[in-house]
Amino acid sequence: MASLLLPLLLHVAPAGAPAVTVVVEGPASAEAKQSLSSTTLPVELRFSPAPSLEPVKTTPSPWPTRLAAARTAYVTANFVECLRQLEGDAAPAELLATGERLLTARLLAWRAACHTGARQPGPARAAAEALAAFQVPLPEDVASMTPEVESLLARAQTDVGARPMTTARLETIPAGASVELDGRPVACTTPCSMELLEGTHVVRLSADGYTPTWRLLAATDSPIALEPAAPELAAAQWRKRVEKGDALDSAASLRLLSTSLRAPRLVVMASDPATPKLLRGALAVDGQLLVRAERNDDAEGLVRDLLVRGQVVEEAPSIFARWPFWLAVGVAVAAGVTTTAVLVTRDPTTRVEVGFQ
């Protein structure tokens, strides 16, 4: 009977079972993986390591070199070459979008200087006013420029500072993006409003799970839609959060891990060195944290609990709700009744022999 009922109690992952990515971290990870490798859960478990914590190598900016070349050209009165080194209409905004306020200040100051040297007062003033509007401090390079340039820059600071303040409102889809204004990690979290000096400003919007973007504020009347981050970027954002001490199973961490591992269904399990047997787990579906659970030294039970509560799999119906059970019970009862009837009604064989003593 046991052999008949046992298959009813066990699940076997059917063909086409949903795939679930599992990330296991902590001292009990090896045991947990071992336990899960022979699981009877009706899903396909795919083990994946967490993204590497190695820092991402960034390519160095060309601007320090170009600024040095512009300075050399300026000193030798080669203003054409100086301006050639500094060309690029979007360069100041791009530098500010990456937080390079000093390079932006140097770029705009040298543009003002080279245009002044080239007898181009209009562009020189525009560069000086842009420098003032971005409210970046004047660079030390100003000491290498002519008094005329210094005067231009000082006048622009005064003029721009006298402009009226305007209110700018920022909205993003989704909301919750951090706003950096003119390279300063200040401002606010969308949706929000800011008081600004009149003029061009650069805002950089960043949120976990989305590709950072920047805009010239004048062009941002409507909500800015953020693009989901690519897996590599999500991995970098996840690394950043973990390095800051964020929990592996936090909602943000799960969202970034889901993206970086390309895992629509993700289970993260972790244990602490202090309590290595206690497994904490969380399930995220499509990047959204659905449930958390804890189990003591029972990885399979923990995953089963998460998948059932997260409705990734349906809880196995009670054995009493399955027809094979009642069929087995019926067969057992019939067999029992038959056996009893046979035993009660059968003709016992009694041999009679002579036992004369």
245 touches 229 (CB < 8 A) = no
Q: How far is the CB of 8 from another protein (least distance, A)?
A: 16
Closest-CA residue to 17 (of 314, 319, 321, 267): 314
Burial of residue 179 (CB within 10 Å: 0-12, 13-18, 19+) is buried
Q: How far is the CB of 340 from another protein (least distance, A)?
A: 11
10 vs 354, beta carbon nearer another protein: 354
Q: How far is the CB of 337 from another protein (least distance, A)?
A: 11
- Region of 124-132, 218-226, 292-300, 349-357 interacting with another protein (CB under 8 A): 349-357
Furthest-apart CA atoms within the chain: distance in Å? 149
Query: With binding defined as CB under 8 A, does residue 2 bind another protein?
Result: no
What are the b/e assignments for 333-350, b being 16+ CB within 10 Å?
Answer: eeeeeeeeeeeeeeeeee
Place of tokens 């070199």: 65
Contacts of 327 (CB under 8 A, 6+ apart): none
288 vs 338, beta carbon nearer another protein: 338
Strands, E assignment, 171-241: 172-173, 178-181, 192-197, 202-206, 210-211, 213-216, 224-225, 227-228
Query: With binding defined as CB under 8 A, does residue 352 bind another protein?
Result: yes
86 touches 110 (CB < 8 A) = yes
**Cα separation of 67 and 239, whole Å?**
33
Residue of the chain from 219, 321, 343, 344 that contacts another protein (CB under 8 A): 343
Strands, E assignment, 288-337: 288-296
- Region of 139-147, 189-197, 240-248, 331-339 interacting with another protein (CB under 8 A): 331-339
**Cα separation of 285 and 295, whole Å?**
20
Query: With binding defined as CB under 8 A, does residue 344 bind another protein?
Result: no
186 vs 341, beta carbon nearer another protein: 341
Distances (CA, A) of 119 to 77, 91, 144: 12, 22, 18
Query: With binding defined as CB under 8 A, does residue 77 bind another protein?
Result: no
Contact pattern from residue 281 through residue 320 relative to another protein, giving x for each residue in contact according to CB under 8 A and a dash for the rest: ----------------------------------------
Q: How far is the CB of 318 from another protein (least distance, A)?
A: 25
195 vs 353, beta carbon nearer another protein: 353
Q: How far is the CB of 316 from another protein (least distance, A)?
A: 25
Q: How far is the CB of 346 from another protein (least distance, A)?
A: 7
Q: How far is the CB of 34 from another protein (least distance, A)?
A: 35
89 vs 353, beta carbon nearer another protein: 353
Strand partners, 282: 268, 292
Site for another protein in 194-233 (CB under 8 A): none
137 vs 355, beta carbon nearer another protein: 355
Tokens representing 333 are 């009862």
Tokens representing 194 are 């800011």
**Cα separation of 302 and 253, whole Å?**
19
Query: With binding defined as CB under 8 A, does residue 349 bind another protein?
Result: yes
158 vs 338, beta carbon nearer another protein: 338
252 touches 237 (CB < 8 A) = no
Query: With binding defined as CB under 8 A, does residue 345 bind another protein?
Result: no
Site for another protein in 156-195 (CB under 8 A): none
**Sites of contact with another protein (CB under 8 A):** 1, 331, 335, 338-339, 342-343, 346-357
